[in-house]
């Protein structure tokens, strides 16, 4: 599609200037006429690298998506058509990426494309879970209910992520600050005392010799130090992208005290919430499991879910692979088993997700309360060691002078 700059006049003679996107000039004029405007001038705007919109991270945040879905449902319930609703939402939102996507969706809808198929063309904004739920809702005629369900789903996902991020924000910040402080002390503070110690020729304690040697190496090999840090980061990324190593790391992560239970609870909450939402909206269970797999970050949980899918295809129990995997709590497997046998799997999955979403707050608070004092103690020991390494020989020198 191309971008066009236009000048038009509405029914009352009010001039309007703006930009729109269309496949060609004729389609651009038609779009303006359909909205009740008389075109005065229109010209194509040639794009460049400087005019392109660049997005870092997700172009539409979860909070904005929740508001969009809630407003979408409310307008449909008020009796508006899908096309009019998309147009109104496009005019009201401030998110440029969402405006652009809704503009294309509106064009597709006017040309007879279904809402799900139109949204599917914008995967960075509308993921496969949302698209599949919209598709099922269009077939069953329950679009308003599905939009409410999607808004609730994304709202709870957003709340869970915020809880985990807030519990880790302070510890990560302290670790970064501690690292920078130690580097500053070793590279700029400690070297200033080296000449003084050399001048007096005093015998230095072991701790001082160690700190001075470390400082000297860092000053002389700072490029090598940066290279080593970079290689460690790149190696970590490489290891995490390979399934075999990723699986082992994720399994180890689940075994860690305090942090492991938080990771497990967040993954189980995400898995059960996503699966229940898809099944509730009439998405076939095999397809629902495949979509849910993509949302699970931990490979141990994800692989177990794959095994559950294989088990179902073979005519066996959905929960059996989870029972065989030791990381799944007994409460989870028991509730899912009861739901599967009683024909109320969706209800049980919702109960499990609700229970763990609430429990995440407790686990995150426990992790934060444990990490804060540990990090402060560690920082105190490291900085204290450097300070002692300087102060102890200085006291010895003062005693010799006296």
Among 86-90, 208-212, 279-283, top mean pLDDT goes to 86-90
Note whether residue 135 is domain-resident. no
Tell me the CA distances in angstroms from 303 to 291, 312, 332, one per residue in order. Answer: 13, 14, 17
Cβ atoms 340, 311 nearer than 8 A: no
Note whether residue 211 is domain-resident. no
Encode 320-339: b = buried (16+ Cβ within 10 Å), e = exposed.
bbbbebebbbeebbebbbeb
pLDDT value at residue 211: 87
| Residue in 238, 262, 249, 337 with CA at minimum distance from that of residue 300 | 249
Strands (E), 140-237: none
Helix pair angle (299-313, 243-255), 10° resolution: 110
pLDDT value at residue 400: 67
pLDDT value at residue 117: 92
Total domains, the chain: 3
Note whether residue 122 is domain-resident. yes
Number of helical H runs and strand E runs in the chain: 17, 3
CA–CA gap between residue 311 and residue 237 (Å, rounded): 32
- The more confident residue out of 167 and 125 is 125
pLDDT in tens, 306-317: 999 999 999 888
pLDDT in tens, 8-27: 998 888 888 888 777 678 87
pLDDT value at residue 401: 66
pLDDT value at residue 307: 92
Confidence of residue 96 (pLDDT cuts 50, 70, 90): confident
Note whether residue 137 is domain-resident. no
Residue 56, pLDDT above cutoff 90? no
7 and 95 fall within a common domain = no
Confidence of residue 55 (pLDDT cuts 50, 70, 90): very low
pLDDT value at residue 17: 87
Residue 348, pLDDT above cutoff 90? yes
Note whether residue 349 is domain-resident. yes
Note whether residue 225 is domain-resident. no
Residue 283, pLDDT above cutoff 50? yes
39 and 80 fall within a common domain = no
Please compute the mean of the pLDDT values over residues 113-127 and round it to a whole number. 91
275 and 345 fall within a common domain = yes
Q: Which domain holds residue 6?
A: 2-44
Domain final residue pick, 105, 126, 147: 126
- The more confident residue out of 197 and 76 is 76
pLDDT value at residue 227: 94
């Amino acid at each position: 599609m191309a971008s066009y700059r236009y000048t038009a006049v509405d029914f009352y003679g009010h001039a309007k200037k703006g930009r729109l996107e269309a496949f060609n000039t004729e389609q651009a004029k038609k779009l303006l006429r359909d909205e009740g405007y008389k075109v005065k001038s229109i010209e194509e705007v040639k794009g460049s690298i400087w005019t392109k919109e660049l997005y870092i991270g997700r172009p539409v945040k979860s909070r904005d998506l929740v508001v969009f879905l809630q407003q979408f449902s409310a307008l449909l319930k008020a009796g508006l058509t899908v096309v009019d609703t998309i147009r109104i939402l496009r005019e009201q939102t401030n998110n440029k990426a969402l405006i652009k996507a809704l503009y294309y969706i509106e064009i597709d809808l006017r040309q007879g494309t279904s809402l799900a198929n139109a949204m599917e063309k914008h995967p960075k904004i509308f993921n496969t879970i949302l698209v599949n739920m919209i598709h099922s809702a269009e077939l069953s005629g329950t679009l308003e209910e599905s939009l409410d369900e999607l808004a609730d789903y994304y709202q709870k996902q957003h709340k869970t992520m915020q809880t985990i991020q807030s519990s880790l924000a302070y510890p990560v910040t302290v670790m970064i600050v501690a690292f920078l402080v130690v580097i500053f002390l070793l590279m700029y503070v400690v070297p200033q005392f080296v000449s003084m110690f050399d001048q007096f020729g005093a015998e230095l304690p072991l701790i001082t010799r160690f700190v001075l040697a470390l400082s000297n190496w860092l000053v002389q090999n700072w490029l090598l130090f940066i290279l080593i840090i970079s290689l460690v980061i790149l190696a970590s990324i490489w290891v995490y992208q390979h399934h075999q190593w990723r699986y082992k790391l994720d399994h180890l992560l689940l075994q860690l005290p305090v942090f492991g239970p938080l990771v497990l609870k967040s993954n189980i909450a995400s898995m059960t919430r996503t699966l229940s939402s898809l099944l509730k909206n009439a998405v076939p269970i095999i397809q629902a499991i495949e979509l849910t797999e993509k949302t699970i970050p931990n490979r141990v949980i994800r692989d177990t879910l794959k095994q559950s899918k294989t088990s179902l295809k073979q005519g066996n129990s959905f929960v059996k692979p989870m029972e065989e995997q030791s990381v799944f709590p007994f409460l989870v497997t028991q509730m899912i088993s009861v739901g599967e046998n009683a024909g109320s799997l969706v209800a049980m999955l919702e109960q499990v997700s609700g229970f763990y979403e609430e429990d995440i707050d407790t686990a995150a608070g426990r992790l934060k309360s444990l990490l804060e004092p540990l990090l402060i103690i560690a920082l105190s020991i490291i900085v204290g060691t450097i300070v002692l390494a300087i102060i102890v020989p200085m006291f010895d020198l003062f005693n010799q002078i006296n």
